[in-house]
Amino acid sequence: MNTFNIASSIVYFTILLSVTLAALPAQPLAAVELEVICGSMYSGKSDLLISRIQRAQIAKKKVQLFKHALDNRYHDVDKINAHNGNTSSENAILVRNANDILSHLHNDTDIIAIDEAQFLDPKVVQVCQHLLHPSKASHCRRLSKIIIAGLDLDFRGEPFGPMPQLLAIAHKVHKLHAICVVCGRDDFTVTQRIVNGQPANYHDEIIMVGAKETYEARCRQCHDVLHSPHEYYLHTEKIE
Ligand SMILES: [Zn+2]
């Protein structure tokens, strides 16, 4: 076989290989998983979120942390803080709305962690839906997981902000429970708001900024809300 024939054969096989590869179906991008951690206050949500972040960092994943700027209860406002004293090593980006998450996102991020998601606007659901479709989220192609923590119920015991929708679209859900501080039951708990030593009024604002209220974890039987329409239903046993 002379030099010309060898060169021709190489060109022929190169073209054949290119055509064969082009005919193969495109490799789909890896799915992005949404994991939601919910529960009442003192149920360990932020602690589980911090544990997830630490495990991802051990695996050398790039994690970006977000939390709502409203959550300024702790000295380390830039960190994700748990009630048991556990704190994230990385700083969180404080956001005021869901779009802020997209605008701060780096294109080499593997995992997004969001704390106190109940405070975010409903657009956070659209932001997650967008990121769950890798082809659409072309600016964030390494993203493999979004982990969200938040209160599923407000102080009235009713679904809180965007959490019901986030729970509905999640791949994995962790519903955590605290211990009821009144009866000690280790069961389903709701966040009890107390204002001046009294249970909060049903008609109070859902989010009270800078108020002097305190919070407890209570089971459903010990949870108390003044002027709650649910109490009316319980007494009349009639829902219209
Ligand atoms: Zn109780």
What CATH number corresponds to the domain at position 133?
3.40.50.300
Residue range(s) defining the domain that contains residue 90: 33-178
pLDDT exceeds 80 at position 4: no
**Which pLDDT tens digit goes with each residue over 100-113?**
999 999 999 999 99
C-alpha 216 – ligand 1 centre gap (Å): 11
More confident residue, 6 or 37: 37
Distance separating alpha carbons of residues 121 and 105, to the nearest angstrom: 18
Q: Does residue 96 form part of some domain?
A: yes
Which amino acid does the sequence have at 45? K
C-alpha 98 – ligand 1 centre gap (Å): 35
Q: Does residue 117 form part of some domain?
A: yes
C-alpha 186 – ligand 1 centre gap (Å): 8
For residue 93, give the nearest of 111, 115, 74 by alpha carbon: 115
The pair of three-digit structure tokens given for residue 88, joined into one six-digit string:
């994230």
- 10 Å CB burial of residue 224 (0-12, 13-18, 19+) is middle
**Longest alpha-carbon distance in the chain:** 99
Domain count, the chain: 1
Q: Does residue 26 form part of some domain?
A: no
Residue 169 pLDDT = 97
* Average pLDDT of span 36-43: 97
Q: Does residue 20 form part of some domain?
A: no
Q: Does residue 193 form part of some domain?
A: no
Q: Does residue 159 form part of some domain?
A: yes
128's enclosing H/E stretch is helix 123-132
Residues in the chain: 240
**Which pLDDT tens digit goes with each residue over 115-167?**
999 999 999 999 999 999 866 556 678 999 999 999 999 999 999 999 999 99
Catalytic option among 116, 205, 213, 231: 116
Name the DSSP class of 139.
G
Q: Does residue 198 form part of some domain?
A: no
More confident residue, 37 or 77: 37
Distance separating alpha carbons of residues 46 and 53, to the nearest angstrom: 10
Q: Does residue 54 form part of some domain?
A: yes
33 catalytic residue (yes or no)? no
Name the DSSP class of 185.
-
* Average pLDDT of span 72-99: 82
Residue 82 pLDDT = 85
103's enclosing H/E stretch is helix 98-104
Residue 55 pLDDT = 96
pLDDT exceeds 90 at position 24: no
pLDDT exceeds 60 at position 238: no
Specify whether the CB–CB gap between 70 and 92 falls below 8 A. Answer: no
Distance separating alpha carbons of residues 112 and 187, to the nearest angstrom: 30
What is the dihedral sign for C-alpha 70, 67, 164, 176? negative
Confidence category of residue 85, pLDDT binned at 50, 70, 90: confident
